Amino acid sequence: MTMASDPAVVIARAAERGWTIATAESLTAGAVVARLVDVPGASAVVAGGAACYSYDAKTAVLGVDAGLLRETGAVTAQVASAMAEGALELYGTDLAVATTGVAGPGPDERGVAEGTVVLGLARRGGRTRTRELHLSGGRARIRAAAVEAALDELAAELED
């Protein structure tokens, strides 16, 4: 764990700014929000997290366009952005992070390689950005590394 991916740092920085946070998680299935709420005082800044594994859930809960999901699959920058923006709106927060990817074993049904992860970060009144990662080490390691990377993204945004 880097200093940036320490969830206590994320919570402290958000609290200092008076910002609230939400997550939209597919690949990590709620592990990012779980790490955040392990921190005492997290309830002051964490509004919630949506674990949306299926396409239908991404559409119903986060407002991700169903046609986009059918056309491109879920592991794209466009979908990660839409997930983060959906969480921002759903929870009415200042900042939201999204995780989507392929943990394995093997590639997904579209041939996206195991270890491909796309993170989305949406900020109220700001631009949404994405980051694509190529991780290795098997399912558990890929998911754990994606959680760390999502925490890093939150911490970096809270530094600016």
Torsion of CA 43, 140, 106, 76, to 10 degrees: 20
**Cα–Cα distance, 135 to 143 (Å, whole number):** 9
pTM for the structure as a whole: 0.96
pLDDT digits (tens, 9 = 90+) for 61-77: 999 999 999 999 999 99
pLDDT digits (tens, 9 = 90+) for 6-64: 999 999 999 999 999 999 999 999 999 999 999 999 999 999 999 999 999 999 999 99
- Does residue 5 surpass a pLDDT of 90? no
- At residue 25, the pLDDT reads 98
CATH code given to domain 7-159: 3.90.950.20
Structure tokens at 147: 């959680």
For 115-133, the three-class secondary structure string (H helix, E strand, C coil) is: CEEEEEEEECCCCCEEEEE
pLDDT digits (tens, 9 = 90+) for 73-116: 999 999 999 999 999 999 999 999 999 999 999 999 999 999 99
- At residue 142, the pLDDT reads 98
